[in-house]
């Protein structure tokens, strides 16, 4: 015979309370004595009652789902960031739906449609595509990380300007006179541009030439290596490189060695990000470390505030630090 499902009224009967009281305990609504709450939970355990999650979500108008849209997990910074976000959201009772856009605008739009159709409670985004009109029309809590999406969407970012100052100053202190910087294309609206601004201001202040090689995040490794070979061809005098991320710093050092340049004897290199995986695989790299865990915590808190009805567009900027290796 088919086993009869335990109903809300069954729990109420065993607990000796009304069906409404059981519902209030399940949804944590209104004042109830601890004794009443304990009786309801005891009855639920005795009957092996399982709440109807879908019904509760409809009642609360929440799904306890949060969507994440980022370029890729195949990158130490974003891989660690998404892991930290997932952990922070789990602690608050949320499940995560993740979409990696590979910096493809059409793919990002498709993920947004899927996530919105799934009725998520909010979004945390960090992909680098511009002109995604859905973000300006979403009637939903959204937080951005290291990306300027819309004036109404708060951004969580590291202090990129301070990081640019630390990196450039380290190379200057090392005696470098021909420092080259790599960064995203200049027309991309990203806090990364603050790293470039800091580099240019310090170089100008010291009366030194400025050269920035623009490297798209979604370029293939082969394309990036081609750019870095060109960097050494066009500027054989280069004695310092401030790379906009640790992955590019690693590739630049590989190219430098193939060109017979010794690091750090002939060339000093400073990276940016300082993710755990990079620190493990490339401990010698001097880099600017972003506070990835704190960024995730701040982003989740901003999202929770919006979900709770505390509408805020206040952005958060967090400090960075210089991690000394042997490359600079």
- Are 272 and 194 contained in the same domain? yes
CA distance 218 to 232: 22
Q: Is 3 part of a structural domain of the chain?
A: no
- Are 151 and 296 contained in the same domain? yes
Instruction: From 60, 86, 101, give the residue that closes a domain.
Output: 60
Give the model's pLDDT for residue 136.
60
CA distance 288 to 167: 7
Q: Is 186 part of a structural domain of the chain?
A: yes
Q: Give the position of tokens 């400025």.
A: 210
Give the model's pLDDT for residue 236.
96
CB atoms within 10 A of CB 228: 24
Give the model's pLDDT for residue 22.
82
Q: How far is CA 64 from the centre of its chain?
A: 19
- Are 145 and 70 contained in the same domain? yes
CATH number, domain with residue 220: 3.40.50.2300
Q: Give the position of tokens 């490189």.
A: 241
Q: Is 248 part of a structural domain of the chain?
A: yes
- Are 167 and 74 contained in the same domain? no
- Are 147 and 296 contained in the same domain? yes
Q: Is 130 part of a structural domain of the chain?
A: yes
CATH number, domain with residue 31: 1.10.260.40
- Are 241 and 286 contained in the same domain? yes
- Are 110 and 254 contained in the same domain? no
- Are 285 and 300 contained in the same domain? no
Q: Give how many domains the chain has, as a whole number.
A: 3
Q: Is 153 part of a structural domain of the chain?
A: yes
- Are 199 and 118 contained in the same domain? no
Q: Is 324 part of a structural domain of the chain?
A: no
- Are 153 and 296 contained in the same domain? yes
Q: What is the DSSP letter of 273?
A: E
Give the model's pLDDT for residue 72.
73
Q: Is 1 part of a structural domain of the chain?
A: no
Q: Give the position of tokens 């420092």.
A: 179
- The whole domain housing 33 covers 8-60
Residue 16 makes CB contacts below 8 A (sequence gap 6+) with 39
Rg over alpha carbons for the chain, rounded to the nearest Å, is 26
- Are 181 and 274 contained in the same domain? yes
The pLDDT tens digits along the chain (328 residues) read 344 677 878 888 999 998 888 878 876 666 788 888 888 888 888 888 776 544 454 444 567 889 888 877 778 999 999 999 999 999 988 988 876 655 656 666 666 666 665 577 888 988 655 555 555 666 788 899 988 777 788 999 999 999 999 999 999 999 999 999 999 888 777 788 999 999 999 999 999 999 999 998 878 899 999 999 999 999 999 999 999 999 999 999 999 999 999 999 999 999 999 999 999 999 999 999 999 999 999 999 999 999 888 877 689 999 999 999 999 9
Q: Is 74 part of a structural domain of the chain?
A: yes
- Are 185 and 283 contained in the same domain? yes
Q: How far is CA 194 from the centre of its chain?
A: 18
């Amino acid at each position: 015979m088919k086993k009869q499902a335990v109903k809300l009224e069954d729990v109420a009967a065993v607990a000796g309370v009304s069906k409404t009281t059981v519902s209030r305990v399940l949804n944590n609504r209104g004042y109830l004595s601890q004794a009443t709450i304990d009786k309801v939970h005891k009855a639920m355990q005795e009957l092996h009652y399982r709440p109807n999650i879908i019904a509760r979500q409809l009642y609360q108008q929440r799904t306890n789902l949060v969507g994440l849209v980022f370029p890729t997990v195949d990158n130490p910074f974003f891989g660690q960031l998404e892991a930290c976000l997932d952990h922070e959201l789990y602690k608050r009772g949320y499940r995560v739906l993740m979409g990696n856009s590979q910096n493809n605008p059409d793919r990002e739009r498709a993920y947004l449609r899927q996530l919105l159709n799934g009725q998520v409670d909010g979004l945390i985004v960090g992909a680098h595509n511009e002109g995604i009109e859905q973000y300006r029309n979403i009637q939903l809590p959204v937080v951005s990380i290291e990306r300027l999406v819309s004036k109404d969407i708060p951004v969580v970012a590291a202090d990129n300007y301070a990081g640019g100052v630390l990196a450039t100053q380290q190379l200057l202190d090392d005696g470098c006179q021909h420092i080259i910087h790599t960064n995203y294309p200049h027309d991309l609206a990203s806090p990364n541009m603050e790293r470039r601004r800091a580099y240019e201001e310090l170089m100008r202040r010291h009366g030194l030439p400025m050269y920035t090689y623009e490297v798209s995040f979604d370029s293939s490794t082969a394309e990036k290596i081609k750019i870095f070979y060109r960097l050494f061809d066009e500027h054989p005098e280069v004695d310092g490189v401030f790379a906009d991320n640790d992955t590019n710093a690693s590739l630049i050092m590989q190219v430098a060695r193939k060109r017979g340049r010794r690091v750090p004897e002939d060339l000093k290199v400073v990276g940016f990000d300082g993710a755990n995986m990079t620190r493990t695989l490339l401990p010698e790299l001097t880099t600017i470390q972003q506070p990835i865990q704190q960024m995730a915590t701040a982003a989740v808190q901003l999202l929770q505030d919006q979900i709770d009805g505390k509408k805020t567009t206040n952005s958060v900027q967090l400090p960075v630090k210089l991690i000394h290796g042997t490359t600079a």
